[in-house]
A and B are shown apart, each in its own frame.
Chain A
Amino acid sequence: MKRNSGKSWLSVPYIVWMLLFSIIPLCIVIYYAFTDSLTGEFTFSNITGILDYATIFLRSIWLSVAATIICLIIGYPVAYTIARCKPRTQRMLQMLVMLPMCMSFLLRTLAWVALLEDTGIINNIITSLGLQPLPLIRNSGAVILGMVYNYLPYMILPLYTVISKINPRLIEAAEDLGCSKAKTFTKVILPLSVPGIISGITMVFVPAVSTFYISQKLGSTGTVMVGDIIESQFKGAYNPNLGAAMSLILMILIFICIGITNRVAGDEEEVMMP
């Protein structure tokens, strides 16, 4: 502790940044969440009013959990493969993973709309073959697809970083001691990549659960998510109080979800400690 105190001023810019752009706005959110939109008096009605929208919260969590799991299932093998390549190839593949992120997120989602629509590219090909168009867009599946597509790099990159840092000698040692390939994976590689899995899950789940654009473009009138409602409260309906209350509840729910993940994974890490 003492050793670091001389350099503590280095963290001042970040603390100021946090104070200005995270803590103070958070206080404003809390203030709005507990005041009435017309009279400005203290009230719990915004928070209790949220119960009416419980289904929206459940739907958001369910859709983003599904997207996170799919991201993990697709992302892990990719990250593992990249980490096992030659350094030159690794750099190139890493660039390829990040390539879609260079384009605007809105544009990428709109591109999916153009592909999946009833009169979109895929259905045009299908109908030109004389078949009936498929209902590709405006369902939960399309929303999950959009989220997976947009957030997959956030899963692959932390996984790749952690997996590539695993000391190859540990793997050799496991093999020397008679572990099969599958055993080496489950006993050595998988437990060692848990920190990557946790940060991957967090980095996908948090933006996914609060997303608002993807569900508007790819979802139906029945797949509205919390983000959409919060956006509409601030943008059109001019009821920032309800919007703030929803943001607050969403934040708490996100913390709970992250807590569960850390709890499950934390136990695993402890097991690995020698």
Chain B
Amino acid sequence: MIRSKLFCIPAATLLAAAEVSASAAFSYMPVQAAQTSLNVYNWGQYISDGTDGYIDVIAEFEAAYPDIKVNYMTFDSNETMYTKLKTDPAAFDLIIPSDYMIEKLARENMLAELDFDNIPNFEYVDEAFRHPAFDPENKYSVPYTWGCVGIIYNSRYVNEDDVTGWELLWNPTYAGKILMFDNPRDAFAVAELELGYSLNTEDPEILQAATQKLIEQKNLVQSYVMDQIFDKLERGEAWIGPYYAGDYLTMVEENEDLEFLFPEEGFNLFIDSCCIPKQAQHKKEAELFINFLLDPAVCGQNLEYLGYSVPETAAKEFMDPEVTESEIAYPDDETLSHGEAFKALTDQGNQLMNELWLTVKTSDDVLGRYIIITVAAIILCIGLWLFFKVRKRIIKARRGTYK
């Protein structure tokens, strides 16, 4: 799917602006409140911000609700978000984590129940995305996007015969050109799938095997990345990396050689949803923002820019048909059947995985070299120290003789 930016920008801008301002002007009544700030915490590069002529979601929202000032912040992994929220539970009014993290947050009683009276646009959400497994009563979350994780590779450098599945990430031919997820959950999922296990397993033996698999891969990996992957793949600094299908659609616009693979061994199928933390200061405003995001016109334009898949069919009519027909954003049922959603691990499972991930990151096969270097350095230090001590004595002795 290649969108020619030059041609579609003016049209898209006009359309988007007209539609959004129309819907904003007529369907929303500004709330009566003093200027409040709404603290939104979302993934990096995960909202349309007005570049390339697409809708600027935050600016449009602020125009529709002049009393609300959006304070937008980003995170690069669910775990970072969790840590921040745990340290300062009242810092954010709206967060957009993924499925398994929502389950974990709900289990730890960190989420507020949504007031769906303030979110009438929830009616547009497709039946398939209501009552998801991670929030069966649909109390805490409203879907933002969904998508799949797959392998993005550069067809100019990577031989098609090698593109068989996850094992591509272990192919020594491409040593130094392979990227890998920089968070334990996603990285272990890749290793577990390659080994033929479920990505929700907590079996310590399987996790150990996955750890070995990741250590084996480490020397081939250029670096562990999250959003830096965009830059590295687009410029050809790296050739292979696992990432989200939606981001692939953004990257391929910059570099036509990039291709996407749904590995047959299975892949992660995710839903990212809007939630409100229990201690949020501006719950009502956050619900208005969620409602705004669900507006089919806003949702369609926003997600066309993001490349991720929409959870509401009504939004598709506001999108470029080329996007909605893309087999990567909306794979067929046969492909989707290989997907598996993350479930929240137990605290013990999480801790074990974090520890093993640290083992992967710190593993070292050149231990001996460092021991030799350090011993040499210590001997050198002691030697210097002795040298100065002896010299001092000699000088003192000499001084004595001069007297």
Contacts and interface: CB of A to CB of B under 8 A. Distances in A.
Interface of A: 37-38, 52-53, 55-56, 58-59, 61-62, 65, 117-119, 138, 216, 220-222, 224, 228-229, 232-239, 260, 263-264, 267-268, 270-271
A260 B83 contact: no
B388 A267 contact: yes
Contacts of B392: 267, 270-271
Interface string B370-403: 1101100100010011001101100100000000
A232 B77 contact: no
Task: State the majority secondary structure of interface residues on A.
Answer: helix
Contacts of B388: 264, 267-268, 271
A236 B367 CA distance: 26
Contact of A234 (B83, B373, B391): B83
A238 B366 CA distance: 29
A116 B124 CA distance: 50
What are the 8 A-B residue pairs with the smallest beta carbon separation, nearest first? A237-B354, A236-B79, A267-B388, A58-B370, A55-B364, A238-B83, A119-B237, A221-B221
Contacts of A59: 364, 370
18 contacts: A59-B364, A61-B377, A62-B374, A216-B223, A220-B222, A220-B223, A221-B223, A221-B361, A232-B358, A233-B358, A236-B83, A237-B354, A237-B357, A237-B358, A238-B86, A264-B388, A267-B385, A271-B395
Interface residue tally of chain B, by bracket? 35 or more
B184 interface: yes
Contacts of A220: 222-223
Contact of B222 (A52, A138, A270): A138
B79 A237 contact: yes
Nearest to B223: A221
A236 B384 contact: no
Contact of B219 (A118, A222, A267): A222
A119 B235 contact: yes
A141 to B, nearest CB: 14
A238 B370 CA distance: 29
B384 to A, nearest CB: 5
Contact of B351 (A38, A56, A62, A221): A38
A65 to B, nearest CB: 6
B364 A222 contact: yes
